[in-house]
Structures are given as C-alpha cells and as structure tokens.
Chain A
Amino acid sequence: KAGVTQTPRYLIKTRGQQVTLSCSPISGHRSVSWYQQTPGQGLQFLFEYFSETQRNKGNFPGRFSGRQFSNSRSEMNVSTLELGDSALYLCASSLAGIPNEKLFFGSGTQLSVL
C-alpha cells in the first residue's frame, strides 16, 4: 500500500506570492490533516478534513486555507506569502480522523519564502 504522498518536495517562492501544496492520503483513508513544522515550534496543527469538510482548524490566519476532494486528496493554499511562512508542511492521513487513531505522515513539502 502506498504511503502518504506530498508534492512538491521543495518550493521556493517570494513574498506576496501564493502557493498550493498537494497531499494524496493512503488509499482508504478519509481524514487528512495538515501541520506546519518550524525549528523550535514543533508541529503546529493547521486544519483537518474529512469527507470534503473541514472539521477542525488551528490558530493560523485566513491566508492559510485548504480543501479536500471526493477522492480524499487534499490541497493546502497559502496566499500573500510572508517570510515567516518558510517551514516544512506535513500532511497526515488516517482512516476516520478520531483522536486516538494513528496518523500516517508524508515526507512534507519544504517551503522557502525569499
């Protein structure tokens, strides 16, 4: 069974641009979560989608948005990029997204904002 796939692996953007990141979950998994990892901050929860609906959202500005498609694939969008958005963005999938369920993470997209 293929794991969680994130594309692209690396991205370089400039301030003010927007970016879209993609995540394909493990086949059969219907919940997709996004996390931002920065040095010293650990992983910060962005949002979680289940059956195309956002069920939970972290404390990030509205510039961060996402969506989920009917095949459970998910995209995350960041508009008006700022230098502080430079981070590793991780996507995780699970069967149903219940709290005690194991998350399976992708390798992440490393975003650099110049």
Chain B
Amino acid sequence: DQQVKQNSPSLSVQEGRISILNCDYTNSMFDYFLWYKKYPAEGPTFLISISSIKDKNEDGRFTVFLNKSAKHLSLHIVPSQPGDSAVYFCAASAEGAQKLVFGQGTRLTINP
C-alpha cells in the first residue's frame, strides 16, 4: 500500500523554465511533508518542507504547495538550473510517528 505516490518517474525541463514535481498521499493523518533531493552515489539531502497548517512554503527558487483537500503537494523550481538534475523524493510523516513515508521518486533532468 503506497501511501505516498509520485506518479511521474521522470521529468525533462529546459533550463530556465519552471519544473513542477507532483506528489499525492492517501493518509489523512500526515501532517508534515518534505522534499529530498538525491544525486547518484550520494544520500538524499533535505530540500524544503511544509506543515499541514500552511499551504505554501518558499525557499529561494523552491516553493512547495500543499492542497490538503486533494491530498496533493507539488514542488516548483524556478528557474530550473542544470544542477537541479537529480531524483526528487517527497516524504510525509504523521504526528507521533518517528518515521518518514517516501514516494517512489521522480528523476528530473534539466536540459541546457
């Protein structure tokens, strides 16, 4: 039972354009959401997070949007840069649960 789903295994975007990565979840108990970025041969690194009491959080070129009624979140990267090429994982946690539930990941490729 995949509680966090990233339905796009891959995404290709031109440099300078906006990249939009999507994530859906099924567990209504999730109250905190995170995005991690992973380069080959490295561990995932934290990118940005959002609490369920908010619907948007911004950090530089990265913005995460949360739509609780749709159980959907998205990560916007603008403008996209070649260094953004990586696998992006969304993750969720529920209060009291000391574990993260991850999606399958989306491989983002930024083309020059």
Partner-B contacts on A (CB < 8 A): 4, 31, 33, 35, 40-45, 48, 50, 55-56, 58, 90, 92, 97-100, 102-108
B44 and A105: CB pair below 8 A?
Answer: yes
Q: Which B residues are CB-close (under 8 A) to A45? A: 99-102
Cα distance A54–B57 in the bound complex, in angstroms: 33
Interface flag for B63 (CB, 8 Å): no
A103 and B98: CB pair below 8 A?
Answer: no
Q: Which of B4, B96, B99 contacts A33 (CB 8 A)?
A: B99
Instruction: Give 20 A-B pairs besides A42-B4, A99-B96 with Cβ atoms closer than 8 angstroms.
Output: A35-B102, A40-B9, A42-B102, A42-B103, A42-B104, A44-B102, A48-B98, A48-B99, A56-B98, A56-B99, A92-B43, A98-B98, A99-B94, A99-B95, A100-B93, A102-B46, A103-B100, A105-B43, A105-B44, A105-B45
Q: Which B residues are CB-close (under 8 A) to A102? A: 46, 49
Cα distance A107–B101 in the bound complex, in angstroms: 19
A107 and B32: CB pair below 8 A?
Answer: no
Q: Quote the shortest CB–CB distance from A96 to chain B (angstroms).
A: 9
B43 and A31: CB pair below 8 A?
Answer: no
Interface flag for B25 (CB, 8 Å): no
- What is the chain A residue whose CB lies nearest that of B39? A107
Q: Which B residues are CB-close (under 8 A) to A50? A: 98
Chain B window 35-56, contacts with chain A (Cβ cutoff 8 Å), 1 for yes, 0 for no: 0100001111110010100000
Q: Which A residues are CB-close (under 8 A) to B70? A: none
